[in-house]
Amino acid sequence: MSTTAFRRHLDLDPATVRQARTLARRAGRPIVKLARAHTTVSVERAVLRLAGLRGADPDGTPWVNRLVDAVRAEVGLEHGVALPVWSALARGDAEDLAALAQKASAGSVRFHLPEGAAARQAARSARRAVGAGVKAVDARRRERERLVRRWGDPRQQPWIYLIVATGDIHEDIPQAQAAAREGADVIAVIRSTGQSLLDFVPEGATREGYAGTYATQENFRLMRAALDDVSKELRRYVRLTNYASGLCMPEIATLAGLERLDMMLNDSMYGILFRDINPIRTFVDQRFSRQVHARAGIIINTGEDNYLTTADAVDAAHTVTVSQLLNEYFGKEAGLRDWQLGLGHAFEIDPERPESFRLELAHALLARELFPKAPLKWMPPTRHMDGDVFRGYLLDGFFNLAGVLTGQQILLVGMMTEAVVTPWLSDRDLALRNVRYVRSACGNLHEDFRPAPDGFIAQRARQVLGEAVDLLTRIGDDGLLDAIADGTFGLMRRPAAGGKGLDGVARKSSLYYNPATDLLEEVPA
């Protein structure tokens, strides 16, 4: 994604900016070390998915779950599943992964950790099988690049990002195509509420979901094919996004890479703070998922906007900046490039507060100038939508104006009935008209927008950056896990030993082997 050329207007102190990034690295390195030292059930299931294992038993439990659970029960998770699984295949216990999973589920096969020549043979076989999946991800990335060259990108920025998720994938498809025809550049199919807490990925196309549609490989395939059809019709490539978070983050990231999704919501702390998923589980899973995203050429969207739904958007503005810096560090460490870092922030200051729009501009400009090469994702007002649709429509117009003025690249379309009811199709049409008008009328207005060097906006941005540096210093001294436990972000207190999914984490042994991480860290051919 090409980023909008944007002149620097805030006169941020370069030394302070460097200090902020140095402190983010200091805070993040122990987390990366922790992630490298552990694995999870979802990471190991993702390995099997890359090797081609699909399908589910009659009860709907995926075969990857059955196979990982069987290996874990007999050998433990700390060595990884690759060596025990491909050793069993080499012994002739089953002809392929699907048959092995079925036998394991029935208790008719035993696993052990191979040694010596048997271990080396199992490792070679596992690497070949998983390597075929990584090559498939590489092929889907090249396919996207070809289609973008053929059909082109949207002619204007910011890209218009619209949510379409009815719960029924077959209803989502015509609505998504209609939204693209009305100007949407990115279609987000958000997940059914609660899916992040499922420790399995449902199988097949789904027709029921609450406030969203289940993230499954078949749903991904169907929607990507439908958007390819409308991209060809419109002569511009329409992007598809979903969520890679929750207890199955690595698996969903893998499926997204295999089915050529273009963006994925993937925040380092969202699941910890807002779904009470164990912090260690989350950080291990997010590192692997971001390695997959990096390889697949997927743009991630982070979730800093969520902090401002629970904490005050002015008092907690610096926590958003801190999270953005941490997400940048974690993302780049996992292999993501600047153009893949869709860092998040939001238009959530109380509109009754004096100077609220100037404050919003200060925060948005700070993010834009701290991350000049990143395609920032700007989130619309939700917290202060009160059911007055006229006021809500005006707030969305101000949000759209702030996005254009500050050179945002990804603009989530706000609805005047946001956070009150599920929007009607007519609401979506009006919302798209709003953003299209502002984007067209303003054009490159950001070229003419120059806040006074010592004015309100510039001073507020420097204040927030200074507060972020102070907080990063404390986090570096105390540790990020302790900061999360203390309620630093979004006022949520999440201790490292608490939350869902900790039982699915294992510290790696000296014999641990995972061909996927080895392959993902290599430069693709």
Q: Which residues are the active-site residues?
A: 270, 305, 377
Give percent helix, percent strand, percent coil of the chain, each to the nearest 5. 55, 10, 35
CA 458 – CA 362 distance, rounded (Å): 7
Cβ–Cβ < 8 Å for 259, 137: no
In terms of DSSP H, where are the helices of 259-316? 270-275, 279-296, 307-310
Give dist(CA 475, CA 94) in Å, integer.
50
SS3 (DSSP) at 330:
helix
Q: Give the Cα separation of 188 and 195 in Å (integer).
A: 16
The two three-digit tokens of residue 112, written as one number? 């052990």
Show the DSSP H helices in 182-248 as ranges.
217-234
Contact (Cβ atoms closer than 8 angstroms) between residue 401 and residue 364: no
Between CA 291 and CA 43 the distance in angstroms is: 11
Q: Is the separation of the CB atoms in 221 and 136 below 8 Å?
A: no
Helix (H/G/I), strand (E/B), else coil: 163: strand
Non-local (6+) Cβ contacts of 44 within 8 A are 68, 71, 77, 80, 81, 514
* Angstrom distance (rounded) from CA 40 to CA 80: 9
Phi, psi of 187 (to 5 degrees): -105, 120
